[in-house]
């Protein structure tokens, strides 16, 4: 766990989201996976209040994310992504989201808060009905022709560290022969 002193140093005594130097507090990013230890960020009371009270959000305050979304700190990236996602109906936050790059783990972390609140949660299941999660490994249960190429992914091929296609419960993504492909969940078995 990062100490408050280290946090102050990392942030240069500024809110890691909006750069304000006043009323700084430590926020532990909610819905953080157990294997991530550095979940604390230093933010100002204004940011904190708006994060915790969606009805108090002033969209223009969050234009600061234009800069802070490029922070090298994953916990800051996660909070920036979540606020942009919350505000995306404004238009400009969606543009920033489109530009933002999160590595796979950070993206899953960022989305963790979202799926929990969403009413219709998409669940991916393998051919036996076993629930699939990002990072799982599966094996192909039949030969699959890869769309748009001459490649055939052979039955029995193990696909490690799959990603879930969030909009569609029938699709997962994974690497076969070094190539990222989309695979239909009916044709895989969790290993
Ligand atoms: Zn702030």
- Summarize pLDDT for 98-139 with one digit per residue, the tens: 999 999 999 999 998 675 444 456 889 999 999 999 999 999
Closest among 152, 135, 149, 146 to 184, alpha carbons compared: 146
Ligand 1 center from residue 174 Cα (angstroms)? 38
* pLDDT value, residue 171: 93
- What percentage of residues in the chain have a pLDDT greater than 70? 95
Low-confidence ranges of the chain (pLDDT < 70): 113, 115-121
Q: From the CA of 20, how far away is ligand 1's center (Å)?
A: 5
- Calculate the alpha carbon distances from 79 to 8, 47, 82, 119, 174 in Å: 18, 10, 5, 21, 27
Give me the chain's average pLDDT, please: 91
**Distance from Cα 52 to the centre of ligand 1, integer Å:** 13
Tell me, in angstroms, the distance from the centre of ligand 1 to residue 83's CA.
12
**Prediction pTM value:** 0.61
**Strand (E) positions, the chain?**
24-28, 40-44, 124-125, 131-132, 138-140, 144-145, 152-153, 158-159, 163-164, 171-176, 179-184, 188-190
Whole-angstrom Cα distance, residue 81 to residue 186?
32
What is the distance in A from the centroid of ligand 1 to the CA of 45?
A: 7
What is the distance in A from the centroid of ligand 1 to the CA of 70? Answer: 15
Task: Identify the three-state secondary structure at position 40.
Answer: strand
- Distance in Å, CA 149 to ligand 1 centroid: 48
Strand-pair partners of 173: 163, 182
Residue 33, pLDDT score: 87
pLDDT at 120: 55
Which residues have CB under 8 Å from 65's CB, separation 6+? 17, 80, 83, 84, 93, 96
């Amino acid at each position: 766990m990062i100490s408050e002193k280290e946090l102050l140093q990392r942030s240069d005594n500024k809110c890691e989201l909006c750069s304000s130097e006043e009323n700084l507090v430590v926020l532990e990013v909610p819905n953080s996976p157990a294997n991530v230890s550095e979940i604390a960020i230093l933010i100002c009371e204004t940011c904190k209040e708006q994060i915790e009270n969606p009805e108090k959000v002033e969209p223009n305050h969050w234009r600061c994310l234009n800069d802070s979304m490029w922070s090298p700190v994953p916990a800051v990236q996660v909070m920036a992504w979540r606020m942009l996602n919350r505000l995306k109906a404004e238009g400009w936050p969606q543009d920033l989201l489109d530009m933002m790059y999160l590595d796979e783990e950070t993206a899953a972390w960022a989305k963790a808060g979202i799926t929990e609140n969403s009413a219709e949660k998409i669940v991916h299941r393998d051919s036996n009905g076993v629930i699939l999660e990002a990072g799982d490994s599966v094996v192909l249960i039949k030969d699959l022709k890869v769309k748009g190429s001459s490649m055939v992914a052979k039955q029995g091929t193990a696909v490690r560290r799959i990603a879930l296609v969030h909009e569609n419960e029938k699709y997962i993504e994974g690497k076969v022969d070094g190539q990222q492909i989309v695979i239909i969940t009916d044709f895989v078995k969790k290993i």
